[in-house]
Amino acid sequence: MFREIGIATTHCNFCGTWGIVALLRTTERDGLRIIEACETCWRATGNAANLLRLVRLGKSPKAKATPKKPRKPRTGQPERVAPYQGPSKHEVGSLVPLAEQHQP
């Protein structure tokens, strides 16, 4: 992976244009390499990354299941919850804590 990012003035590795470039330096473990590219070409690599992301999401079954997620929250044990037995909700302010229910 890359471990460093910097700025230099040299030829772009992609299009060969001379000028200010941003450079990425790889870790030495992976074999030291420096990739230098101009702004236009780095933006193009961003588009390429987005394309790969689309392909990945299109292939992933988990990603396809994502739109199904917004369902009803947990259905676990709704029966255990006792029905409300306090005074009418119209008589109690909304900021009054339900202290009795929190005591052991």
Using CA atoms, how far apart are residues 37 and 39, in angstroms rounded to an integer? 7
Q: Footprint of Zn ion on residues 72-101 (CB under 5 A)?
A: none
Site stretch for Zn ion (CB under 5 A), options 37-45, 53-61, 64-72, 89-97: 37-45
Q: Is 49 in the site for Zn ion (CB under 5 A)?
A: no
Binds Zn ion by CB under 5 A, chosen from 2, 10, 15, 49: 15
H-helix or E-strand spanning residue 24: strand 18-26
Q: Is 41 in the site for Zn ion (CB under 5 A)?
A: yes
Using CA atoms, how far apart are residues 70 and 52, in angstroms rounded to an integer? 26
